Amino acid sequence: MLHGTCYENLRVLCKSVGHRLSGTPAAAKAVEWGRKAMIDAGADNVWLQPVNVPYWYRGKESLELKIAGKYQKVPALSLGNSQGTGGKTLEAEVVMVNNYDEYKGLPDDAVKGKIVFFNYRFRQDFINSFEGYGDAVNYRWNSPNVAVKRGAAGVIIRSMSTGEDDFPHTGSMHYEDTTAAKLPEMAVGNYTADALAKACKAGKVTAKMTSECKMMGMRPSYNVIGELKGTEVPEKFITVGGHLDSWDVGEGAHDDGAGCAQSIEVIRTLKAIGYKPRYTIRAVLFMNEENGNKGGWAYLDSANARNEQHILAMESDAGGFSPRGIGLEMSEKQKEHIRKYRDLFMPYNVYDFEKEEGGVDISPLHNKKNVPAAGLLPDSQRYFDYHHTANDVFETVNHRELKLGAATMAQFIYLICEHGLE
């Protein structure tokens, strides 16, 4: 809380690099930022691990809605990985459904040639907002696949958003049938969704979608890795990380500049207290979590190729908010072992060791190599206000909350390194 540098590191990332979608020059600049920050933190070794990443290009885009007889431009974002309208304008009537059940109830001719507006609301009654996200996110990920089967022309979705505002939220989608048409998909913010829903109930609404977005193949990039070399068993590893890429709006401050700055802080803290770890501790800034997770897979491939043994992997990718707990994906026996440390975390207001949460970047290691996984659990109330929006900027991060999360991670990594998992 007194000597932490993660807040200042995050400021530099957000303000000198900004957003950094995989494959962009900004992502390359972020790699350089990470490399330098790892060295400054005192890592014994710092290196770049090659990763091939998909490059999605947004280009120009606009959404206009004709409500009460007049077209008006509204804030909107194409969803990541989606194919746009090729720069042409798609004009069609909007048909609204509140969920997939309502959609199924529509006659086919109500869908064909239309732009389907999936007006599914993020459920604010979930106390843990990640449950709300899990509940809603399929409308972003899958709606074009649902819509194309009945001949729709395009898709608009209500953003995966808890925000009392009009920020549209981008995020990844996918086309499941590569032989089918790739429908354009755009997200609107809550206020625009409210207005559009009201207009659709009142009468006929048409929309003009124009977008240039497209996938543009693979590009070379890197995971950034910094190590504190183990003194007793250096060939065994404990990984702590976040992801370095972000969506191409805002500054990727909470998602996931915070997790990167915190992971670097773990190295800095342990080095600053003169800690000599038994095992090698690695901070990893993964590339391409947002639209491919190629960094997580490259890290697994490298671990397999080098025949590395991994004791634990931890991730921070839920925002730089006040920590509440640590999620655990591992055996019950290992969970029970960790829960014995609960009283050591209580003075830091960290109490929740009950949730099953790791992280996307470390999921290949966990799923394919059975490495126990852990995820920092910050307070979730504000995350989906900012997530994947132009408002995910440095100013929304509080320095004490960010540092407290980093301290929690450092403490956890220390305990695992000292006492193992059995």
Alpha helices in 235-375 (DSSP H): 258-272, 294-305, 332-339, 342-345, 363-369
**Nearer residue to a second copy within complex by CB, 18 or 405:** 405
d(CA 149, CA 127): 35
**Nearer residue to a second copy within complex by CB, 250 or 364:** 250
Q: On the CB side of 84, how many CA atoms lie within 13 Å of its CA?
A: 25
Residue 258 CB, nearest distance to a second copy (Å)? 14
Residue 382 CB, nearest distance to a second copy (Å)? 5
User: Which residues bind to a second copy, rule: CB under 8 A?
Assistant: 1-2, 7, 124-125, 127-129, 162, 164, 322, 324, 347-349, 351-352, 379, 381-382, 385, 398-401, 404
d(CA 222, CA 147): 36
**Nearer residue to a second copy within complex by CB, 308 or 385:** 385
Residue 401 CB, nearest distance to a second copy (Å)? 5
Residue 403 CB, nearest distance to a second copy (Å)? 8
Residue 126 CB, nearest distance to a second copy (Å)? 8
Q: How many helices (H) and strands (E) does the chain have?
A: 14, 15
**Nearer residue to a second copy within complex by CB, 1 or 39:** 1
Q: Which residues contact 411 (CB under 8 A, 6 or more apart)?
A: 344, 345, 348
d(CA 18, CA 227): 26
What one-character DSSP code corresponds to residue 128?
S
**Nearer residue to a second copy within complex by CB, 165 or 177:** 165
Using the structure block, give the residue that is written with the tokens 């014994």. 44
* Residues pairing with 326 in the sheet: 376
d(CA 261, CA 11): 10
d(CA 316, CA 323): 10
Residue 417 CB, nearest distance to a second copy (Å)? 23
**Nearer residue to a second copy within complex by CB, 230 or 257:** 257
